[in-house]
């Protein structure tokens, strides 16, 4: 990367991180520093790790359903980083603050038991699942630093950490989950005063395991190691739930378990 490109990437990362910390929204990254490709977007996103005092907690996948992709105008999934200070246990309280998306997503999350380094050949679903240690129920509370995130486009959304914000990780399931058909597995979610929303693993790129393999191969193509201990949350399994301060959000993944988060 040239000095000019590096300076542009740094400037974009600084602007997005400052907006994230302040709870502010920007219209878009200035044209002079705006990423034009997915690779440029990931280069901006990678600089977020410097802002975290802890090792990276893991990864998220955005836009794993056709409806989600259509909503934000992208043609495929996006990967984002889970910063450790933004990951909370089930039962935690989260300030909704100036969150503009105001939705909660019920997700399947996987913790890895060994590293998966970059390589030329794509990883198969079976190889990826062999590296997984545990399966968890999870709730994501996404947000964007763009006032009009719907029209920002994939490179800018990737730079914006694929709309990562808060992430709530439930306990590892004690169920024999490797024998479950996660594509057909039924899940529900609700928030105080809201109707229960139903979904399934099929809403996550057809199968959460397929989404997980996509993430591993996306990182491999970027030259990034997916490390043992990191968590990957694979995208919402149901239509996002509208939320507001004072609500409690509940995720129920049946035999896999559940998670809750209180919004203040």
CATH of the domain at 237: 3.90.850.10
pLDDT exceeds cutoff 70 at 1: no
pLDDT exceeds cutoff 90 at 229: yes
pTM (2 d.p.): 0.96
- What is the pLDDT averaged over residues 228-233? 98
- What is the pLDDT averaged over residues 93-107? 96
- What is the pLDDT averaged over residues 238-258? 98
pLDDT exceeds cutoff 80 at 3: no
**pLDDT tens, residue by residue, 196-220:** 999 999 999 999 999 999 999 999 9
C-alpha gyration radius of the chain: 17
Domain total in the chain = 1
- What is the pLDDT averaged over residues 231-255? 98
Please report, rounded to a whole number, the percentage of residues in the chain having pLDDT higher than 90: 91
Please report, rounded to a whole number, the percentage of residues in the chain having pLDDT higher than 70: 100
pLDDT exceeds cutoff 80 at 19: yes
Enclosing domain of residue 180: 3-263
**pLDDT tens, residue by residue, 53-70:** 899 999 999 999 888 888
Q: Quote the mean pLDDT of the chain.
A: 96
**pLDDT tens, residue by residue, 186-199:** 999 999 999 999 99
- What is the pLDDT averaged over residues 94-120? 97
**pLDDT tens, residue by residue, 108-141:** 999 999 999 999 999 999 999 999 999 999 999 9
């Amino acid at each position: 990367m040239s000095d000019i490109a590096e300076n542009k990437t740094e400037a974009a990362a600084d602007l997005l991180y400052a907006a994230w910390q302040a709870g502010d929204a920007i219209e878009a990254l200035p044209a002079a520093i705006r990423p034009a490709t997915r690779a440029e977007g990931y280069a901006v996103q990678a600089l977020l790790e410097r802002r975290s005092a802890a090792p990276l907690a893991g990864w998220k996948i955005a836009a794993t359903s056709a409806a989600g992709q259509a909503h934000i105008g992208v043609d495929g999934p996006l990967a984002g980083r889970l910063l450790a200070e933004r990951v909370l246990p089930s039962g935690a309280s989260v300030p909704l603050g100036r969150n503009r998306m105001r939705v909660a997503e019920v997700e399947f999350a996987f913790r890895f038991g060994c590293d998966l380094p970059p390589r030329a050949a794509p990883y198969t679903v079976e190889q990826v699942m062999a590296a997984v240690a545990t399966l968890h129920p999870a709730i994501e509370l996404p947000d964007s630093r763009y006032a009009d995130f719907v029209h920002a486009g994939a490179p800018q959304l990737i730079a914006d950490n694929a709309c990562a914000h808060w992430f709530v990780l439930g306990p590892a399931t004690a169920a024999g989950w490797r024998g479950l058909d996660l594509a057909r597995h039924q899940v529900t979610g609700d928030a105080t005063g809201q109707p229960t929303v139903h979904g399934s693993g099929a809403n996550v790129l057809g199968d959460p395991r397929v989404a997980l393999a996509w993430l591993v191969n996306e990182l491999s193509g970027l030259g990034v190691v997916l490390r043992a201990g990191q968590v990957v949350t694979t995208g919402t399994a149901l239509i996002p739930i509208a939320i507001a301060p004072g609500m409690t959000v509940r995720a129920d993944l049946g035999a896999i378990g559940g998670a809750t988060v209180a919004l203040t």
